[in-house]
Structure formats: structure tokens, C-alpha cells
A and B are shown apart, each in its own frame.
Chain A
Amino acid sequence: MRTVAVVGASLAGLSAARSLRKQGYDGRLVVIGDEPHRPYDRPPLSKEFLAGDLGEADLVLETDGEDLRAEWLLGIRATGLDRTERAVRLADGREIRADGFVIATGAAARQLPGSDGLAGVHVLRTLDDARTLRDELARGGRLVVIGGGFIGAEVASTAHALGLDVTVVEAAPTPLAGPLGQAMGSIVSALHTDHGVRLLCGVGVKGLSGERKVDAVLLEDGRSIPADIVVVGVGARPCVEWLEGSGVALDDGVKCGADGRTSLAGVVAVGDCASWYDPRAGHHRRVEHWTGAQERPAAAVATLLAGGAVEPGVPRPPYFWSDQYGVKIQFAGHAAGADSVTVEEGAPDDRNVLAVYRRAGRPVAVLGMNQPRLFTRWRKQLAAATA
């Protein structure tokens, strides 16, 4: 293999570039990213960076003096993948021909329909989003967060600590019920009300009001919640439109095997844009977590370099963390499919728990709130139990 093109210059793309060099690939390496920035870390964008405790220099993912001998094409979008020419097409008309391709284009924040052009309405995915939002939060006022998922909850927590008046609106009856299940979702989301942040559940958003600047969030039940700032945290969609018609099979992201291979030879996919086959679950799953974007490229790159002739190992169960209101939340495994959840340690009322999800008596997931030591033990056990 003489040229590898990595499309997407964030965590998964950087991790793939690192894995390529580590696994002995010595050829030309081109990394293409549509953001103008070098790879940076997103988790602090809703936490320490938004709070003003970390600056941009702290977000850099590369280490001092790190040299991957790569050509970085930044601030330029890939618009297509040509399977016959074996080339990535760029927005400026250039084409990068390569023998191997790593797709790492991640995901983009979903917008609220009809919020275009209204000042004071934000999503949070990129450094540029975070800068704008940070400056606006610094002016204070009433913040309404639409969506009680992890990003929404973290923004609410950070803004509350900054002294803003915060309301969270969630369409589902219980926030986080998807990833955590009903019982634990309600315990974790109770952190909002513990701290005096209003949480309105089970009600959808009808729209926004305001002339040029937002002034309220209109709910489907007729209520109108006054707002100076609105953050829309309603999930993300995989950035894969550019692959349409390329022959790469898509299905809520790039559909790939347990080793990252896609439907096209010489093309692998990693990170938030990739829907990996999960041998534990027996189906494909797109996981939007930092640790997966960091770890899985090693396997995908091995697949690419070996021309698909390697046996994929069983990856560790997916893991993510979140920090809200000073509580460290950690989760590993899959809550869906569990038939019981038991609190093994700590007290739900103190928002300090280690809970284990089981299916037919076997652990399938674990949740920790301020329990890093026990959580690690269980995470290890989970990996061993399901390997």
C-alpha cells in the first residue's frame, strides 16, 4: 500500500493515523478534515472549556513534537469517494488518489427545524460552536436547553455553575432512558432538580419565538418558556452524505464489520460515523463515545493493512463518561436488553451509586456515579464475562 487517505481529522482520524504508523505503515499518509483546526478534544467543550477553566491550547490532541509524517489538508471538505478511480474528491475540485481509505467523518449536531438565522440559538459539536456559546453564556441570562441527553445535561450543569437560570426540556418522560434505562435515567437526571435547574419532561417543543433573536421556547402543551439563550441538544447524525453513490454501504452511518471493514475493499470506517457489527449484540451499532473513537482505529487499520486477512478480536464493551454537577458518571455495556438493574453500592438519593444491569442473571452493563474504583472492577468483569 503506497497511499492511505484518512477522511476526518478529529479523534478517530488522528487515532487511525497513529495506528498506521505504529503498525509499520511507511507510505504516504494524507489526512483530510473540513474544520480548519488541528485535531482537538470535544468532551471539554461542554465542560471545562465552556466553563472557562480550559483554553484552546488545552484541547490539542497531538503531543508536543509528534510527527506522523502526514499531509494535513485542513479546512477542506471531502465531497465524494470514487471507487473506480480510487480517489477522494475534495470541495475545491482536487482528487486524492489512494490505495487505502479510512472514513472518520464523525457526526454533526442535529438542528431544530426553523431555527435558522435566529440569534441566541446554538448547537454544540465543534470548537467554533463552543467559543460562540461560551461568550454568550458569559453574559448570563435565561438558558433553555432542548434535550436532556448527555450533551444537554452537561451544558445545563456548566451553565448553572456559571450562574445562569437554566431550564431543560425533554420530550421523553424520562431523560437518558435510552442509554441508561428508565430507573437509572431518572436517578441521573434528578441531578438537575437537585441543583435547582428546572426539568420539564414528556413535552415536545413546537418552535421558537423571537424576531431576530430568540425570546422564548414554545412547547406543544401551549406553554412558552422565556429564553435569552437556547441550546439544542437533540442528538447527532453521522456525516456520511458525501459517501452516497460511492458503493460504501450506509445504514445509520457506514455499515462495517467487527473489524471496521466496509462493503468496499480497502475502505474502513471508524468513530462516530461508523456502525460496527457488535458480535455481543448480534447486530450493527453506531456508538458515539470517545473511547471507541480512540480504540477501534487500531483494529480497523490492522484490517486495512492486512487486506482484510485478520481475525477481529472482540472489542471491549462500549464505555463512556459524563460529568454533571460535580458527579462523575460512567457507563459501560448495553442497557437495552437488560431485565434487571440492581444498586450494588451507594445510595441513589445521594447520587452515588454503582448499578449493575443483568440479563438472565448475567451482567450486561454497569453504571457508576462517583464510584470510579468499583466501576473499573465491574467494567473489567463485564469485559471478561462477555469476551
Chain B
Amino acid sequence: MMIPACRLADLPRGEAFRLDVDPPVSVFHTDDGEVFAIDDTCTHQDASLADGWLEGCEVECPLHASKFDLRTGSVDAPPAKLPVRTHEVLVEDGMIYVRVSTDAPNLPPCVAARLAGGPA
């Protein structure tokens, strides 16, 4: 499914936009002008990667500093150990669209339990 996220013009370089799907997805506009989409929730605990520290093609989790590669979703070092999903991005007529991956997300235990228990 292609989901419209936001206008490219509204997302300055170095910024992130959180898409309120379940689980949430984040769109990053890098300093080099590339656009990537990954799962927003860190795989370690309940932190939003859109709040993180974006540098090059990596975002550092705002809580415990594991770094995720925006291109592959892979994580560099603990405490997070599992990658996040990456999603396909399309920019058309100045609008950013995201095709959400159909893979199972790697949600942290606390968030997975909450989702399994239905809406909090």
C-alpha cells in the first residue's frame, strides 16, 4: 500500500517526519537530500527514531544511542540488537509516498506486548 506522508518541501534536510500508521514509520530527509523510510520504533525499547540524531545515512536512537542505517535498517551496536524494517519511498509531484513493508516488524518486547493486548 502506498501511503502519502508529507510534501518534500515541508521536510527540511536533516529532519524526520513520523507517519502515524501502526506501528509508526519515519521518513528521514538526509543532509545529502536523500529520503528514506524505516520503522519509527527502536527495536530495543519504546523510543521514536524520528526524535533521534540524524547524521549521514544513520540515525542514532534518542535514548541509548544504538545507530540504525537508513538504507538497510541494520543496527551498529547494542543495546539494540535487531534491525528495523526499511520501506520503499517514492517522491512524485513534490509529495513523499511510503510503501510499508509486509515483513513482520522487530518491535521491542514492551511495545509488542501492548500491541498484542490491543489498543492501550
Using a CB–CB cutoff of 8 Å, the interface residues on chain A facing chain B are: 15, 18, 41, 43, 53-54, 58, 61, 63-64, 290-291, 294-295, 319, 321, 328, 330, 372-373, 375-376, 379-380
Contact = CB atoms under 8 A, between A and B. Distances in A.
Contacts of B65: 291, 294-295, 319
B53 A372 contact: no
16 contacts: A18-B77, A41-B78, A61-B78, A61-B79, A63-B78, A64-B81, A294-B77, A294-B78, A295-B65, A319-B65, A321-B63, A330-B63, A372-B63, A373-B48, A373-B51, A373-B62
Contacts of B53: 376, 379-380
B50 to A, nearest CB: 8
Contacts of A58: 109
Nearest to A328: B63
A15 B66 CA distance: 13
A290 B63 contact: no
B78 A376 contact: no
Given A291-B64, A294-B77, A373-B50, 10 more contacts: A41-B79, A43-B64, A61-B78, A63-B78, A294-B78, A319-B65, A330-B63, A372-B48, A372-B62, A376-B62
Q: Which of B63, B78, B79 counts the most chain A CB atoms within 10 A?
A: B78
A63 B62 contact: no
A19 to B, nearest CB: 10
A199 B110 CA distance: 30
B47 interface: yes
Interface residues of B, number: 16
Q: Which of A330, A373, A376 counts the most chain B CB atoms within 10 A?
A: A376
B79 to A, nearest CB: 6
A345 to B, nearest CB: 14
A376 B51 contact: yes
Interface of B: 47-48, 50-53, 62-65, 77-79, 81, 109-110
Given A294-B65, A319-B65, A321-B63, A372 B51 contact: yes
Contacts of A53: 110
Given A290-B64, A321-B64, A376 B79 contact: no
B77 to A, nearest CB: 7
B107 to A, nearest CB: 14
Contact of A63 (B50, B51, B64, B81): B81
B86 to A, nearest CB: 19
Contacts of A373: 48, 50-51, 62
Nearest to B55: A380
